[in-house]
Structure 1
Amino acid sequence: MQTSFWSRRRVLGVLAAATAVAATPSVLIPATAAAAENTAPEPVPLPDTERAKVVRAWLTGGKGVKAAAAVALYGSDAAIQTFLAETLPRQTVDDNWVAIVRSLDRAGKGLRREAVATLESGDAAIAAFLQDGFRPAILEDLQVATTTVSSTGGKAVVRSANAALNAATTPALTTFLTDSQYDSRLEDTRVQVTTMLLTAGPEVRKYASRALDGAASDVEWFIETGQHIARARDQESATIEELVALVEREGKRAEQETNLAVEASARAETPPGRPRKPPRRPLPRRPPPRTMCRSRGRRPARRRARRRARRTPHATPSTPPMPR
């Protein structure tokens, strides 16, 4: 969950001009208007004299008013009267211009738009803007900032932002932007970490449990850094386990293919529908008869007969019996 939040420095920068004017309402308005209202409490009780008015201008005025008041206080009564009648209104107008121009670089779009329009309208419009006219523009910028935070936040941030928008006051919106949004952000972050405990790996669950048991900084560190370290470790463990499972799976597959090949070979040797016969034994080879000689007739046989006759001893011829 990537949520963009306004920092306290950014919000205070937007409110800088308004805060300064609200804190010292007689700084940048004409002396006649301040004297007419006479509602703001004085920082230092002073008597109702001309020199006291110069001192009051020095205490509450801008840089130009302070410098001119200091010069007048060192002068005579004529210098005091000249300051109150001529110098103070002129220096007040200059300080008003400086205050508005300095606020432009840190102001929001609404305040910048109204300030530029006021600078083009004259000294009276500038005095009215610095007295109360800036407040609607400040409220508009705070509402825009709160809506931006709400659109990118979680449920808790949206809930707090809606409460501030419904109040529609500068203090409520300022409190949300400078304080409440961070508490709501922490609540949303804890919910996100708790969700990881149900779906993540063992290392992520271990890191998430430690973050939830720690402080807010621990939860922020887990979201920004810790979860990525834990996911990398889970991925490393999963890779090793996958390799082992892959080797086992391929081994079983090779064994099955071997068995199928053996069965297919056996089926190929035996025709379908006939029992398998045992292989025939080769007959013994008979030598050809010795008495046969096709090339030269029967000469070898005669020679063998003569050899046998020589080896046999000669028998004595028997005398035929005499006739009776």
Structure 2
Amino acid sequence: MTHRRSGRARLALATVALAAGLVGTAAAPAAADPAAPPAAAGSVTPQEETQLRIKVNQLLAAGGPNVRASAQKVLDADNAEAYVEFIEHGFFVAQGADDRELVLAAQANGSADTRAACDRALKGSLAELHAFVTTELPRLLETDDRVRATQIASVGGPEVKAAAGRALRGDHAAVKEFLATGQYVARAKDEAAAKSAKEAEEASRKEAERKAAEAAKDGQPATATLPVTGADAVTFGGAGLAAVALGAGLLVAARRRRSA
């Protein structure tokens, strides 16, 4: 009976941890009695074992890569003792590994403030590390992302500036979406607009050159080709009459000199 009671005690410990919401938070792993023997296969009822398996699946679904891998091994083992061990201890170790990877990535890519905060967190306990990951780190990452989006907007075209503005007015998810994909979509639009404007300018220049070439090939100077009408005709007629009169006068004068 002692063997059965020890196994049920460990099951009760895991159940209490779950009911109190300790699993998945910054709480430290529950301390297991090192003298307690492992739970026997018949230590829990089928219903209790099913509940434990459900909890492990829930942790797998919500966890990071290390938690998922560890939980899957436990599920593959398919026994109550493995479930209890994971819930009491294995989960926290795997979660610590996931937290550490997140912090190291943030440290490698973050601002000076983010790097310093990550360095401090990595020196703490698993519980302190998880508290940092769930509270302070998200704020630091959002600040870094907003700075990046602002920098991109400052050197971007109209579409990039507009997309960045919309993202910065939104939440962190909107900013991350802009950095991951939105900036590239907007940049492509700016590049397409610039290309279209350049092509239109080039087409206009070529059309102007074509018209100039045709005019030079087929046309005459404007003064020779324009018809003489209206006021220009009067002016032209007056000038012609004056030239005729002048010619006649010169002819008469010449004759008079010869007669003399």
**What range describes the TM-score normalised by the shorter chain of this pair?**
0.3 to 0.5
TM score, norm. by length of structure 2: 0.46
TM score, norm. by length of structure 1: 0.39
Larger radius of gyration: 1
Q: Which has the higher contact order (CA 8 A, sep 6+)?
A: 1
